[in-house]
Amino acid sequence: MVNPKIFIEGVNYSYGDSQALRNITLEVPPRSVTVFFGPAGGGKSTLLRLINRLNDMVEDTRMTGRVLLDGKNIYDPGTNVASLRRRVGMVFALPLPLPGTVRENVTYGLKLAGHRNDGKTEEILERSLTRAALWDEIKDRLDSPANALSGGQQQRLCIARSLALEPEVLLLDEPTSGLDPISTRKVEGSLHELKKLYTIIIVPHSIQQAARVADQAAFVLMGDLIEYRPGTEIFTIPSDRRTEDYVTGRFG
């Protein structure tokens, strides 16, 4: 196997007294789509948010274990969390455009990083929107308010906003849960292009979506990693009884 982009090693995580993740170890290969799936409340989002340290915003949590990005532990005391989050972008369940125009939204991360607005900004704007499969639809509306776009467009705008920072990893937390089927297909479609450039980890909003997009998939149940295998196998010939029950719709 090629060097993993991300190596989660022996991670335990708890909020107060309730343990959210138990001894999770898994490797995420670069430039592919990795899926974390399982029933709600099982720890998928927690696992996802460990990778950009967004869980730091929650009080009263405990963690043991390591998360390596390109072989380096992102939980080392010296880590610059802001620059980590520029390397590991994130898209949330609901499209969350920031107040302002389409243009301002896409370039928000650059502004936060202190980049001057120069000729390159326009280039980044177009490239990010193109990669998020949105450019053709809104290239004439770059200065209209972001919240005037449709829900599906807003979510792709959020993807473009993350891409503008040229991240290496893109985390997607149920990115299509608020979208209609057509918008969902557009977002999923853009993933096939994006994985050529980025390492993508997605928490899907259905098993069907998981099966459609996964290169490899991890079944997370009640804080345990049950099995982690290529997408072509896990959804058709699961090796664990619990995975089989979940995939075939016997629970969840």
Partner 1 sequence: MDRNRVQQIGFALLTLSAIAVVAPILIVIGIILVEGARAISWEFFFSMPYDGMKQGGILPAIVGTLILTVGTAVAAIPVGVAGTIYLAEYAKDTWMTRAIRLAIVNLAGIPSIVYGLFGLGMFVLFLHMGTSILAGVLTLAIMTLPVIISTSEEALRAVPMEFRTVIASLGGTRWQAIRYIVLPEALPGIITGIILGLLRAAGETAPILFTVAAFYLPRLPQSPFDQVMALPYHLYVISTQVPGMPFSVQYGTALVLLILVLSMNVAATVLRSYFRRRRQW
Q: Which residues bind partner 1 (CB under 8 A)?
A: 52, 54, 57, 59, 82-86, 89-90, 92, 94, 96-100, 108-109, 111-113, 145-147, 161-162, 165
183: tokens are: 């918008």
Q: Which is nearer to partner 1, 141 or 242 (CB)?
A: 141
- Checking DSSP bridges between strand 61-69 and strand 33-37, what pairing results, if any? unpaired
Q: What's the rounded Cα separation, in Å, for the pair 172 and 99? A: 21
- Decide whether 109 or 223 has the Cβ nearer to partner 1: 109
Q: How far is the CB of 163 from partner 1 (least distance, A)?
A: 11
Nearer to partner 1, 90 or 132 (CB): 90
Instruction: Enumerate residues 6+ apart whose C-beta is below 8 A from 57.
Output: none
Question: How deeply is 172 buried, as exposed, middle or buried, from its count of CB atoms within 10 A (0-12, 13-18, 19+)?
Answer: buried
By beta-carbon proximity to partner 1, the closer residue of 12 and 177 is 177
Which of 84, 222 has the CB closer to partner 1? 84
- Shortest separation between residue 202's beta carbon and partner 1, angstroms: 15
Beta carbon of residue 48, minimum distance to partner 1 (angstroms, whole number):
11
CB of 127 to partner 1, least distance (A): 17
Q: Which residue lies nearer to partner 1 by CB, 89 or 152?
A: 89
221 vs 40: CA distance, rounded Å: 9
For partner 1, give the closer residue by CB, 63 or 94. Answer: 94
Q: Provide, rounded to whole angstroms, the least separation between the CB of residue 100 and partner 1.
A: 6
Minimum Å gap between C-beta 96 and partner 1 is 5
Closest distance between partner 1 and the C-beta of residue 234, in Å?
Answer: 28
| CB neighbour class for 66 (10 Å; exposed up to 12, middle 13-18, buried from 19) | middle
